[in-house]
């Protein structure tokens, strides 16, 4: 299942112009535990005041509040996304909260190149939507300073009884979120970094992969 950047652009144009509906879709994806799971994903970065963190495929900026808590106003978030509309919504979100320490960058994560190294990289529900995700993971690790942390939250199809709905779930998320569940995000990160940890939540439908460079 190979989805293109064109598909990403078209899909997220819609969600970016209707961020309220994107927020509702997140409630379904996280089965109502979004706050807790986003908090855990951010915690895994062990950020400190003044740190710089890359929010890769940041979308409408739903991680910002969790990251701001750790880095404070002396730190910096680099918010990177391919969709102009998602990024525009993220900018509005930041302005509404008065966060002035966020740099917004538009581009393909597979071509990511930052001027300076960052202390942490977070990506939530992002890597599974990036067409050239292997390159994006390698570029994300390249952007990380030695000793920096990476935390990736992503989703899997349900197992057990819920499996009967998998074809429908896969079809909906593929078409409406550019989600490709066949990506081996854990395997690829394990081939790049030593000591990669994986924790599962919501019956295995959400997982958080974290590691130190
Ligand atoms: C499901 S959304 C997740 C957004 C956000 N991280 C969150 O947790 O709500 C997936 C995001 O990945 C972005 N994306 C997809 N392909 C990308 C690429 N090649 N480079 C950068 N961002 C990409 C989309 O534009 C979209 O904003």
**pLDDT single digits (tens) 68-84:** 999 999 999 999 999 99
- CA proximity to 126, closest of 100, 151, 163: 151
> ∠37-41-45 over CA atoms, to 5°?
160
- Exposed e or buried b for every residue in 46-57, given b needs 16+ CB within 10 A? ebeeebbbbbbb
- Assign residue 198 the CATH number of its domain: 3.40.50.150
Given a cut of 70, whether residue 1 has pLDDT beyond it is: no
The total number of structural domains that make up the chain: 1
Query: What is the full DSSP assignment across 164-179?
Result: GGHHHHHHHHHHHH--
The model's pTM: 0.96
**Which of 30, 41, 57 has most ligand 1 atoms within 8 Å of CB, for mutation?**
57
User: Which residues does a 6 A CB cutoff place in the pocket of ligand 1?
Assistant: 5, 8, 12, 26, 57-59, 62, 81-83, 86, 108-110, 124-126, 129-131, 177
Residue 169 belongs to what domain range? 5-212
At 62, list the tokens: 């739903």
Give the mean pLDDT of 191-206.
94
């Amino acid at each position: 299942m190979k989805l293109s950047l064109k598909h990403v652009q078209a899909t997220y144009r819609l969600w970016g112009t209707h961020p309220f509906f994107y927020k509702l879709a997140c409630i379904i994806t996280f089965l109502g535990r979004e706050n807790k799971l986003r908090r855990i994903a951010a915690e895994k970065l062990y950020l400190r005041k003044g740190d710089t963190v890359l929010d890769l495929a940041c979308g409408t900026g739903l991680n910002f509040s969790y990251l701001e808590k750790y880095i404070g106003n002396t730190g910096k978030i680099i918010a990177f996304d391919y969709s102009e509309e998602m990024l525009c919504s993220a900018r509005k979100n930041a302005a509404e909260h008065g966060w002035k320490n966020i740099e917004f960058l538009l581009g393909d994560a597979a071509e990511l190149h930052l001027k300076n190294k960052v202390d942490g990289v977070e990506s939530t529900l992002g890597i599974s939507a990036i067409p050239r995700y292997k390159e994006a993971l390698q570029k994300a690790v390249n952007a990380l300073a030695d000793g920096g942390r990476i935390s990736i939250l992503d989703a899997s199809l349900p197992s057990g009884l819920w499996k009967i709905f998998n074809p429908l779930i896969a079809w909906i998320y593929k078409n409406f979120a550019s989600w490709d569940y066949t990506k081996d995000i854990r395997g690829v990160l394990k081939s790049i970094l030593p000591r990669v940890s994986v924790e599962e939540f919501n019956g295995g439908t959400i997982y958080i992969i974290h590691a130190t460079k």
